Structure 1
Amino acid sequence: MKHIALTSLIILLVIIGVFVLFQMREALILLAAGFALSAALTPAVDRQVARGMSRTQAIGLVFGSTLLAIVGGVIVFGTLAAGEFALALDELPTWYEQTRRALVDGGGFGSRTAAMLPPLFQAVDEFATADLAVLGALALDVALRTITLTALALAVVVFGFYWLLDQQRFERLWLSLLPPATRITARALYDQVIAEVGVSMRSGVLVVAFTLFSLLALLAISGVPGATLLAIFGGIAMVVPLLGPLLGLTPIAVVAFAQSPTTGVLVTTFAAVLIAVAKLVVTPRVQRDGARVNPVLVVLLIMVLAELAGLLWIIFAPPLAAALQAATRVLTADRAALNAPSDKVAQLEDALLALEARSKEAAPSPQFADMLKRARSLVDEAEEQLISQPQS
C-alpha cells in the first residue's frame, strides 16, 4: 500500500512539474537562448583573456562587438528590405492587373479564377474604403510585436552577459546542490553541452551569413527584384535541415523565372551552387570541432518550438538538438564506464603489482612498506566502489 501511495505521489509531482514548466515555457526559452548565446561567445572571451585582458573587459568587448554587428546588420538589411517592400507595393497594382489579364486570356480554369478577382479600380477602392479601425489595429499589433521582440532580444543578451560574467560562481552553486556522487557526471555533462551548443550556434550563424551575403550579391548583380528579401529568406531557411536548401531556392527560382527564362535558369543554377557550397563545404568546416546534429531531431524540435513559442524561436532548434545529443552521449558514456573497471584504476593496479614484485626481491624500508600497504588499501577500495556502484 505504501509503495502504491509513493508511486502515485511521484506521478502527481511529475505531472505538476510538467504543468509548471509548460506555464513557464517563455521564460525557459529565454533562459535557453541566453545560455546558447553565452556558449557561442565563450571561446572568443577565452581568447581575449589568454591575451592578458581581464575577464570583465573581454566579455564587454565581445558582447559589445556582437551587439554592434547585430544592430548594424538589422539597420542595413532592414533599410534595404523596407525599400524593396515599398517598391513591391508600388508595383503591386501593375502586377495584379497583368496577372488577371493573363488568366483571362489563358481561358479554362485560369479564366474562371480571374472572374472571381475584382478589377483593379474596384480592388483599390475596396482597400481605400476599408475600416480604418481594422487597419489601425493591424498597425498597433505590428508595433507591439516589434517592441516585444526587441525586449526579448535585450533579455537574452542581458542574461547571456551576466551568465558569462559570473559563470564560475553559477557553476559552483549548482554543482554544490547535487549529491557528491553525481557531480563528476554533471560536470562532464555541462562541459559537453556548452561545447556542442557553442559549436552549433557559431556554425549556424556563419552558414546563414555566408548564404545571405552570397545570395544577395548574386541577386543584386542579376537585377532580380526583391534581392534583399529573397537573400534573407534563403539564409534563414538554411537553419531547417534537409528541406532548408529547397525552401531557400524555391522563391528565388519563381521570381527569377518571372523575369525571363534565361535569367531564371542562370540565377537558379548559381543560387543552387552557392547553397550547395554552404551546405557541403562551409557547414562541415565550421562544425569540425563538434558532433553532427541529427536532422530528424532538429525537425522535431522546430515543430515543438514553433508550437510552443512561435516561428521566431525555431532558429534555436539546432543548438537545442546539439545539447540533447551531447547530454545523451555523456550519460551513455558514463553508464558504459560504470559497467567496466576504470582504465586508470587498472593502470594503478598494474603499477602497484610491479612495485609489490620489486619489494619481494629486496627488503624494503619500513616507510616504503607502509606506503605500499596504504596504496594497496586505496586501490582495493576504489575497485570495490566501482563494482558496488549502483547501475542506472
Structure 2
Amino acid sequence: MKRVMTYTAVVLATLAVLQILWQFRLALLLFGLSLSVAAVIRPFADWLVARGLSPVAAQVLLYVLGIGGILLIVLLLGDLLLVELNNAANVAVVEYESLHQRWEAGTALQETIIHYFPPALTFAPAEDSELITMLPAVVDLTRTLVGALGGAILLLALSVYWSIDQHRFERLWLSLLPAKRRSYARDAWREIETAVGSYLRSQIVQSVLAAGFLIVGALVAGVDYPLLFGFLGALAVFVPFFGGLVTTIIAFVLGSMTSSWIGIGMAVYTLVIFLFLEQGLELRIWKREQRSLLLMVLVIIALLIEFGIAGFILAPLAAIIIEVLIKQTYQAYVVRRQTAVHYEDLEARYQLLAQKIAHSENGEVKPELRNLTEKLATLLANTREVHPM
C-alpha cells in the first residue's frame, strides 16, 4: 500500500510540474531557442579561441558577423522580395477569383466542390466606417510585430549570455541536483547541446544552399518570382518530410505559368536539389545515428496540434532532445547495473575475508590488516548508501 501511494504521489507531482511548464511554454521556448543559438556558434568560437582570441572577443566577432550578414541580405534583397510577394499575392487573388467564378458556373461536381472553399475576395472602395473597423486588426498586427522584434532582441541577449558564461550557468543549475545525479545530467546536457547545435548548423547550411540554387535555377529558366521561390525553399528545409515535396509542387506551379515543360523541369530540378542536400550534404555535416522516425512522427503530431506549422519546425529539435535523454537514461541504468555487480563481488570477497579473520588466531592477523578490513567495511557501507541496490 505504501509503495502504491508513493508511485501515485510521484505521478501526480510529475503531472503538476508538466502543467506548470506548459503554462510557461512560450518563455521556455524563448529560453530553448537562445540556448540553441549559443550551441550553433560555440564550435566556431572555440576555433577562434584556439587561435589566440579571447572568449569574449570571439563571441562578439561571431555575433557581429552573423547579425551584419543578415542585415546586409535584408537591405539588398528585402525590397525586391516584398515586391515579388505583393505581386504574387495579387495574382493569386485574381486567379482564385476567376477560378471561383468559373466553377460556380461549371458542372455540378465543380459547383459542389467550390462551395467548400472560401469565397473569393471582392475589392471595393474603402469607406471611413470600414477603415475604422480595420483599425483593431492594424493594431494587433503592429503589436505582433513589436512583440516579435522584442523577442528577437531578448533571444539575442540571452544567447550572448549563455555563450560567454556557459560554465557558470552549468554550475548554477547542476547545483540544484543531488550530487550523484550531476555527472549524468552534465553529460546529457552537453550531448543535447552538441546534437542540437550540429543539427541547426546542418539545416542553416542547407537552407542557404537551397535558396541559392533555387534562385539561380529560377532565373535561368525565366520563372517569375525567383527571390520568393528561393525564400520559400530556404524555409522548407526546416520542415521535415514535406518541405522538399511542397517546394517541388511550388516549382511546378511557377514553371507552368510559363510552359508545361518548364514546370516539369523546375519540379525535377527542385527535387534533385533537395535530395542532394538531405541525402548527400546532410549526412556529411550531421551524423544521424540518433534519429528515430517513429519518435519524430509522434513529436510532429503532438506539436502540430498545438503550434501549427511552427510545431513542424520545432519537432526535430524536440525529438533530438528526447532521444538523447532516453539514451543517457539507459546508459546510466546499464552503468548502475554493472556497478552493482562489482559491488556485490567486492562485498562477497569482504565477507570471505572477514570469515577468515574471524576464524584465525589473534597472533596470525596483523593490526594493519584489521584496520584495512574495517576501512573496507566502512567504504562498502558508504557505497551502499550512495548507490542503493
TM-score when normalising by structure 1: 0.78
Match of 2:313 in 1: 315
Match of 2:272 in 1: 273
SS, match of residue 257 in structure 2: helix
The letter for the 2-side match of 1:215 is L
SS, match of residue 53 in structure 1: coil
- Kept after mapping to 1: 8 A contact 2:240/2:312: no
Measure how far apart 1:262 and its partner are: 1.7
Q: Distance in 1 between matches of 2:114 and 2:2?
A: 73
Q: 1:236 to 1:298 in 2, by over 3 A?
A: farther
SS, match of residue 184 in structure 1: helix
Q: How does 1:312-351 map to 2 (within 5 A)?
A: 312=310, 314-340=312-338
Q: 1:253 to 1:185 in 2, by over 3 A?
A: same
Q: 1:63 to 1:223 in 2, by over 3 A?
A: same
Q: 1:328 to 1:111 in 2, by over 3 A?
A: closer
Match of 1:70 in 2: 70
- Please list the CA deviations of residues 106-138 of structure 1 after superposition, one character each: whole Å capped at 9, or x if unmatched: 766558889999xx9x93337789822343333
Q: 1:196 to 1:88 in 2, by over 3 A?
A: closer
Q: Distance in 2 between matches of 1:200 and 1:36?
A: 10
Deviates more, 1:28-37 or 1:309-318: 309-318
Q: Distance in 1 between matches of 2:2 and 2:243?
A: 53
Q: Distance in 2 between matches of 1:22 and 1:83?
A: 40
Q: 1:259 to 1:71 in 2, by over 3 A?
A: same
The letter for the 2-side match of 1:26 is L
Measure how far apart 1:259 and its partner are: 2.1
The letter for the 1-side match of 2:183 is I
- Kept after mapping to 1: 8 A contact 2:180/2:386: no
* Aligned length, in residue pairs: 362
Q: How does 1:1-392 map to 2 (within 5 A)?
A: 8-88=8-88, 91=91, 95=95, 99=99, 109=109, 123-125=122-124, 131-288=130-287, 291-309=289-307, 311-312=309-310, 314-340=312-338, 385=383, 389-390=387-388
Q: Distance in 2 between matches of 1:223 and 1:318?
A: 35
The letter for the 1-side match of 2:248 is L
- Kept after mapping to 2: 8 A contact 1:25/1:308: no
Q: 1:80 to 1:149 in 2, by over 3 A?
A: same
Which structure 1 segments of 5+ residues have no match? Answer: 346-369
Q: Distance in 2 between matches of 1:250 and 1:69?
A: 30
- Please list the CA deviations of residues 72-122 of structure 1 after superposition, one character each: whole Å capped at 9, or x if unmatched: 3344443232110232355467646765686689766558889999xx9x9
Measure how far apart 1:140 and its partner are: 2.9
Q: 1:125 to 1:170 in 2, by over 3 A?
A: closer
Q: Distance in 2 between matches of 1:245 and 1:183?
A: 41
Q: 1:6 to 1:388 in 2, by over 3 A?
A: closer
Q: 1:114 to 1:236 in 2, by over 3 A?
A: closer
Deviates more, 1:95-104 or 1:137-146: 95-104
Q: 1:84 to 1:304 in 2, by over 3 A?
A: same
- Please list the CA deviations of residues 326-366 of structure 1 after superposition, one character each: whole Å capped at 9, or x if unmatched: 22212212212222259999xxxxxxxxxxxxxxxxxxxxx
- Kept after mapping to 2: 8 A contact 1:196/1:291: no
Q: Distance in 2 between matches of 1:335 and 1:217?
A: 52
Measure how far apart 1:277 and its partner are: 1.0
- Kept after mapping to 2: 8 A contact 1:59/1:165: yes
Match of 1:352 in 2: none
TM-score when normalising by structure 2: 0.78
Deviates more, 1:97-106 or 1:260-269: 97-106
Q: 1:79 to 1:216 in 2, by over 3 A?
A: same
Deviates more, 1:100-109 or 1:259-268: 100-109
- Kept after mapping to 1: 8 A contact 2:247/2:270: no
Q: 1:256 to 1:38 in 2, by over 3 A?
A: same
Which structure 2 segments of 5+ residues have no match? Answer: 344-367
- Identity percentage of aligned residues: 22
SS, match of residue 124 in structure 1: coil
Q: Distance in 2 between matches of 1:210 and 1:59?
A: 25
The letter for the 2-side match of 1:162 is Y
- Kept after mapping to 2: 8 A contact 1:197/1:320: no
Q: Distance in 1 between matches of 2:126 and 2:92?
A: 13
Q: 1:270 to 1:4 in 2, by over 3 A?
A: closer
RMSD (CA atoms): 4.0
Q: 1:216 to 1:389 in 2, by over 3 A?
A: same
The letter for the 2-side match of 1:297 is L
The letter for the 2-side match of 1:140 is V
